[in-house]
Amino acid sequence: MTAESPTQTVRRLFPLLAEGKSAEAAALFADSVSFSIPHPPGIPWVPEVDSADGMRTFFELLQAHVRAKEFDLRQVIAEGEDVVLIGRMVSEVKQTGRDIDTAFALHTTVRDGRITRYHLYEDTHAVARAYFGD
């Protein structure tokens, strides 16, 4: 049996998140994770993360505060252990009812079948506007 490619590993993440399976999604991550999501101070769903357990906390916080509405994966670029996903997503902030509509790039790295990097780049102004208002 052939080992799963880094792209296949990363692609398994999104259906699990869509189904609300935080524990199963977190199980795709290594014990040590490089996590980065630049964000405005005060956004409650972006904790400090450095492990698979931290990823589970992040996914649970995200589900508690944000409702996914659209996820359009437009391009996947893979080279070696690195997989970069480019797309657009729309999410509703539950507290305010306002949408975050943003293009995104997600840089992941997969080593030994586990995700070791999760660096998400999105429109932080759109995030702030949806959570804090104008």
State how far the Cα of 46 lies from the Cα of 111, in Å rounded to an integer. Answer: 24
**SS (HEC) of 62-75:** HHHHEEEEEEEEEE
Mean pLDDT by 10 residues, the chain (134 residues): 86 93 97 96 94 97 95 96 98 97 98 97 96 89
Q: What's the sign of the alpha-carbon dihedral 125, 130, 131, 134?
A: positive
Residue 2's pLDDT is: 58
Residue 60's pLDDT is: 97
Q: CB–CB of 102/126 below 8 Å? A: yes
Q: What digits encode the pLDDT tens for the residues 95-111? A: 999 999 999 999 999 99
Q: What is the pTM of this model?
A: 0.94
Residue 134's pLDDT is: 75
**Token pair 């509509």: residue:** 101
Residue 86's pLDDT is: 98
